[in-house]
Amino acid sequence: MAVSVPRIELLEMGPEHRAPRRGSRLWREWCFARVAFRHFRLRFLIMAAILIGGGLLFILLEPEKNHSLPQAIFYTWSLVFGEAPEAFPKSIILRVMFFVVPALGLTVIIEAIIDFALMLRDRRRYERSWCTMLASSLSDHIVLVGFGKLGYQIFLLLRKLGEPVVVLERNADSQFLEELRRDGSPLLIGDARRDALLTEANIVKARSIILATDDDLANLEIALDARRLAPKVRVVLRMFDQNMADKLSDGFNIHQAMSQAALSAPTFAISAVAPSIVNSFILGNQLVVMQRWLVRADGPLTGKTISSLTTEFGLGAVEHHRPPDSPRLFPPPDLQLQPGDGVILQGPLHTLNKLWRENTRLTG
């Protein structure tokens, strides 16, 4: 029986795992607007000074006309666009202002429009600023360092779970960055071994940091830096050597240090020697596997209830499928297995092997 490899992209999550507001594209656009405002604030201040200063001059130099401040500011605003709000004034200062304000005001406005158009066309030039602002607004988020193949899969699953993620990646040409940008999560390009980058990722308010680069020494260095900057942050560390990972967990008080090879090796090995293996892992000194079964009329599972699988064989049922119904996770204990049912059993490998041999003997 062929067993398909599970894909994170196809996972179905409940409504409680929807992405939070601050991880949404709308929040990302709001942060970009704040960065744009900060970029143009000097021009805003110059224009405000022109309008208020011009308005005050109208009030002071033409007291006989009793201009109100809003009216005087409107006169200045009209001058910016070359519209004379009144007859040519008698005051020398106001006459000069009639010539200077249009040139000065239009220069500021046109320059701002051109700059804003360039900013919209090349938003990536300001990506660092607004991603830093977005990260600073997060709390209880997860910092993911390394965005290669492993980091990308971790990111997909975290986003499926609705977790806010800040990604730190050294390679600006990583093949997965466009997917990250489309998601709207903050991205900081640079070397995470620098304290400044971890600070920009708001490590102090983060719940966890995952170190998924392919450099063991870099992962260790970043882990120690993260614990120094944020002593309460949970550290999950990727290591290629599981023995080294175990020593680091104990010696440096790192919450989880894992070898990708050690995690995947059981599944590769057991898939080669046992049929229909869905997954496997080592728990203590036991090799625990998940195996897909088809209940046959004369097989050992026919007529058994889900609870009897545990009491008689020491196995658990993870999924039950009775066509044409949809598969059901963790079926009720009183459900009785019938011929044609599909079931995923979980338990020690030697127990499942023994049952599989009995099933082969009975069914021929």
**Rounded to whole angstroms, how far apart are CA atoms 13 and 11?**
6
The helices-and-strands tally (H runs, E runs) of the chain is: 12, 11
Does some domain include residue 144? yes
For residue range 288-304, list pLDDT tens digits in order.
999 999 998 888 899 99
Q: Counting Cβ atoms within 10 Å, is residue 73 exposed (0-12), middle (13-18) or buried (19+)?
A: buried
Does some domain include residue 286? yes
Q: pLDDT class for 150, splitting at 50, 70, 90?
A: confident
- Nearest Cα neighbor of 159 from 173, 142, 147, 139 is 142
pLDDT at 47 exceeding the cut of 60 = yes
166 sits in which H/E element: strand 165-169
Average pLDDT for 247-264:
66
For residue range 100-143, list pLDDT tens digits in order.
999 988 888 888 888 878 776 656 666 777 788 788 888 899 99
What's the farthest any 2 CA atoms get from each other in the chain? Answer: 113
Average pLDDT for 47-54:
92
Does some domain include residue 84? yes
What does the pLDDT read at residue 226?
Answer: 93
Q: pLDDT class for 271, splitting at 50, 70, 90?
A: confident
Q: Give yes or no: residues 136 and 257 share one domain.
A: yes
* CATH code, domain with 156: 3.40.50.720
Q: Give yes or no: residues 139 and 53 share one domain.
A: no
What does the pLDDT read at residue 254?
Answer: 67
For residue range 209-233, list pLDDT tens digits in order.
999 998 888 988 999 999 899 998 9
Query: Mean pLDDT lowest for which of 89-98, 161-170, 248-257?
Result: 248-257
For residue range 327-351, list pLDDT tens digits in order.
999 999 999 999 999 999 999 988 9
What does the pLDDT read at residue 178?
Answer: 87
2: three-class secondary structure by DSSP: coil
Q: Give yes or no: residues 329 and 246 share one domain.
A: no
Residue 144, φ and ψ in degrees, nearest 5: -110, 115
Does some domain include residue 315? yes
Q: Which domain holds residue 286?
A: 274-363
Write down the mean pLDDT value for the chain: 83
Does some domain include residue 215? yes
- Which amino acid makes up residue 96? V
Quote the number of domains for the chain. 3
Q: Give yes or no: residues 157 and 97 share one domain.
A: no
What does the pLDDT read at residue 22?
Answer: 45
Does some domain include residue 134? yes
Q: pLDDT class for 270, splitting at 50, 70, 90?
A: confident
Q: Give yes or no: residues 247 and 167 share one domain.
A: yes
The model's pTM = 0.65
Q: Give yes or no: residues 70 and 105 share one domain.
A: yes
pLDDT at 4 exceeding the cut of 60 = no
Highest mean pLDDT: which range of 48-62, 227-241, 271-285, 346-360: 48-62
Does some domain include residue 20? no
* CATH code, domain with 290: 3.30.70.1450
Q: Which of 209, 231, 261 is the last residue of a domain?
A: 261
Q: Which of 230, 261, 292 is the last residue of a domain?
A: 261
Q: Which of 121, 156, 179 is the last residue of a domain?
A: 121
Q: Give yes or no: residues 132 and 116 share one domain.
A: no
Q: Give 124's DSSP letter.
A: G
Q: Give yes or no: residues 133 and 255 share one domain.
A: yes
Q: Give yes or no: residues 340 and 284 share one domain.
A: yes
**Rounded to whole angstroms, how far apart are CA atoms 101 and 89?**
14
Q: Give yes or no: residues 109 and 215 share one domain.
A: no
Packed helices 25-61 and 127-136: angle between N→C axes, nearest 10 degrees: 100
Q: Give yes or no: residues 257 and 291 share one domain.
A: no
Q: Give yes or no: residues 187 and 227 share one domain.
A: yes
145 vs 39, which has greater pLDDT?
145
Average pLDDT for 2-7:
53
pLDDT at 257 exceeding the cut of 70 = no
Neighbours of 58 (CB within 10 A): 25
Does some domain include residue 133? yes
H-state helical runs in 137-192:
149-160, 177-183
